[in-house]
Amino acid sequence: MKTILYILGEAHSGKSEAAKHLQKVGFTEIALADPMKRFLMELYGFSEDQLWGPSASRNQQDPRFLHRAKGSLGTTYSGGDPSNKMPNPPEDEYLSARLALQTLGEAMRGCYSQTWVRKLFETFGELEKGGMGYVPTQGLFGDGHPVFGRMPEPLGPYFDFLVPDVRHWNEHDALKEAGAKGFRIRAPFQGEGLSPKLAQHRSETEQREIPDDELDAVIVNDGTLEELYAKIDAFLEEHTTDS
């Protein structure tokens, strides 16, 4: 029996730590943003830490890419001089991984609203067949692929999936229709470190419109990591069953 979990939560709420714990208990993490991150890693040379690391790393402006000239009233530029470093650059003066992700995500949703949902469910399907593995930085790979410099063990099939980054109604609706169980993480420090522009982006604001009663639980991350893990374990005990 397939089990799918999904998480909603604002930046710095603890989604990454929750995902790490769920991976340890057997879930395969597949983020909606993974294809975007792989593309941006190839296009801009962003590091794994900038893309998959803590929120602070995604928020950090990259002095290689001038996003907005001073006094330009929003005119967008690219290809900034790497030597033109500013110790405390103005808001979004340079491109950050988060700004690039927000921009790319919306552009592709503008082409087709289900772009990222479609890719997610395609990945589920491939992993359920067996013979395929998944690493966020690599995507799908087959038996014999030297991921992390070693030959992997026989792969799949996989049936327990975690989607750690639901931000939009259509993502929530598609996962709920598929029988997934979802929870929101709230934290007193959520949203810290985001510029006003990034904080008001649709990817941050639309998830707030999804009411708590649409989800299976709300987990408050206001203590230690061990306390957060215990709350997640209690959620699993209540909302999932062995296949």
- Find the angle CA(69)-CA(49)-CA(27) to the nearest 5 degrees: 135
pLDDT the model gives residue 5? 97
Tokens of 173: 């609706």
CA atoms of 131 and 155, how far apart (whole Å):
5
Q: Which amino acid is at 205?
A: T
Interatomic CA distance for residues 129 and 229, integer angstroms: 31
> Is pLDDT larger for residue 66 or for residue 36?
36
User: How far is 240 from 5, CA to CA, in rounded Å?
Assistant: 9
Amino acid 92 reads D
Q: Domain residues of the chain, as ranges? A: 3-39+105-239
Contact 156, 126 (CB under 8 A): no
The mean of the pLDDT values for the chain is 84
Q: What would the two tokens of residue 156 be?
A: 């799949």
By DSSP bridging, strand 139-142 and strand 94-96 are unpaired
166-218 pLDDT, tens digit each: 999 999 999 999 999 999 999 987 766 667 777 777 777 889 999 999 999 99
pLDDT-derived band at 86 (thresholds 50, 70, 90) equals very low
Superfamily of domain 3-39+105-239: P-loop containing nucleotide triphosphate hydrolases (3.40.50.300)
